[in-house]
Structure 1
């Protein structure tokens, strides 16, 4: 019988690669890119928690990782709000380096 944790790790890797694929292919809106980054971070956290549950003593590393993910999400959301207020939308085609 195949180990159940192997299927869980495979599910984590599928989540990470699906998030990476959506980050690369769906780049019309900034919000889609931010959501795919958060989906990748969720897959990485799931895999990290699976690996750390086997060890048992390194739960604080997972909390530190969650803190960094929340900070990344808050920074992305604040940039999205700033861009929507200044440009009126979140299309990547409307952004220009010359216009501030």
Structure 2
């Protein structure tokens, strides 16, 4: 049951990422939802087959680095452009 819940969260976040493209913050939140659902699926996989949790910690490290990188790009964009609209990136 929880496996289907993780897949539901994953599909919902991909769907929201496709539809909501106005603000970068909303895109980052959708990406983090995707990452969290994948991390929960990796946890269930490790628990189901009695694997060690080193792959879980390894993936969590990459996901934290991805989140920090996304927030730093967001802060840089707000400092340079004054907003987080996606369309302000492509206007010269």
Category of TM-score, reference length = shorter chain: over 0.9
Q: Which position in structure 2 is the counterpart of 1:22? A: 16
1:35-88 C-alpha deviation (Å, 9 max, x unpaired): 000001100111110111012232000000000000000000000000000000
Gaps of 5+ in 2: none
Number of residue pairs matched by the alignment = 92
Verify: 1:50 aligned to 2:44, yes or no: yes
List 4+ stretches of structure 1 deviating above 4 A: none
Q: Which position in structure 2 is the counterpart of 1:63? A: 57
Verify: 1:87 aligned to 2:81, yes or no: yes
Tell me the distance in 1 between the aligned counterparts of 2:37 and 2:7.
7
- Superposition RMSD on alpha carbons, in Å? 1.1
Gaps of 5+ in 1: 1-6
Give the TM-score of the pair, scaled to structure 1.
0.88
